[in-house]
Amino acid sequence: MIDITDKIKTLRVAKAQAVVKMSPETVSLIKNKEVPKGDVFEVSRAVAILSAKRVSEFLPFCHNIPVEWVGVEFDLKDEGILKIEVTVKSIARTGCEMEALFSVMLCALNIYDMLKPVDKNIEITDIKVVEKKGGKSDFVEEIPEGFKVGVLVVSDSVFAGKKSDKSGKIIVDKLKGLGIQNIEYKIVPDEKTMIEKEVLSWCEGGFDLILTTGGTGLSPRDTTPEAVKPLIEREIPAIMEVSRVYGQERTPYAMLPRGIAGIRGKTLIITLPGSSRGVEESMNALFPYVLHLFKVMKISEWH
């Protein structure tokens, strides 16, 4: 199986179709409810719903996702063409197209089984996904031209050369993976005045985004939130709430960092944990989604 533990949960929607070809006489039997095995559509609808919930039992690489809703539509033409569409919705870390495909396929097979005593020339065709929504690909944000980011590593030991930086480099690599190239990287000790000076300098220098890592814990030297909070003009609590919720699903210690986020002028400032694991999880939780903020701010300027 593919490891999807680093993904966020989003609303996933998939629609699949199948076409069943039959004789016009069989169409008449269905419409008049004269098929010997019973009501073709109602039985097949139940088959579709049940099968959508059991895909992972038969396909070994499919994840066992929560199926929140299954919709089944039938469009029967007099000339003998039945189009089946199954829509599946799930709030999960991976898509539900296999659930929709499996469901529509079993639905078509059940129709075949119910009709084969009265029609020997039934044909199932055109099984395919016709719609898929949700997941990271739906939340890709365009990086504005000249977008500038400052990455500030806050650590006494890294600044003194006693320890190599991992967290700052994780941030830089993640940003580059998103297509952001204009990145300034600095290291400062856990000194409130130095943190404040660097962040303020980047804000005044027209940086779009500032990410700090370190100094958000509970030791006497952890003062990043105290240094940054007075600089923030508009706090955005939900940014760090989302980060903590994401982390809490993976470790109970995600509740401990005191990170904050907000805007000064047109600069977004986010204070991330100092641990490499905490930084990686925070970046996975927030990016690229948080970059939508810049589009929202630009739209608000127009109005």
Q: Each residue of 247-260: b (16+ CB within 10 Å) or e?
A: beeeeeebeebbbb
- Helices (H), ranges, 20-122: 24-31, 40-52, 55-58, 97-115
Q: Among residues 78, 113, 138, 156, which one is catalytic?
A: 113
Is residue 113 flagged as an active site residue?
A: yes
* CA angle (133, 5, 62) in 5-degree steps: 60
Distance of CA 96 to the CA centre of its chain: 13
Nearest CA to 171 among 263, 52, 276, 76?
276
Helices 237-248/276-286 angle, 10° precision: 120
What is the CB neighbour count within 10 angstroms for residue 5? Answer: 8
Distance of CA 144 to the CA centre of its chain: 22
Helix (H) or strand (E) holding 59: none
* CA angle (227, 232, 235) in 5-degree steps: 120
DSSP string, 210-276: EEEES--SSSTT--HHHHHGGG-SEE-HHHHHHHHHHHHTT-GGGGS----EEEETTEEEEEE-SSH
Helix (H) or strand (E) holding 67: none
Question: How far is Cα 141 from Cα 287, in angstroms, rounded to an integer?
Answer: 9
Question: How far is Cα 240 from Cα 187, in angstroms, rounded to an integer?
Answer: 22
Helix (H) or strand (E) holding 280: helix 276-286
Catalytically active residues are: 113
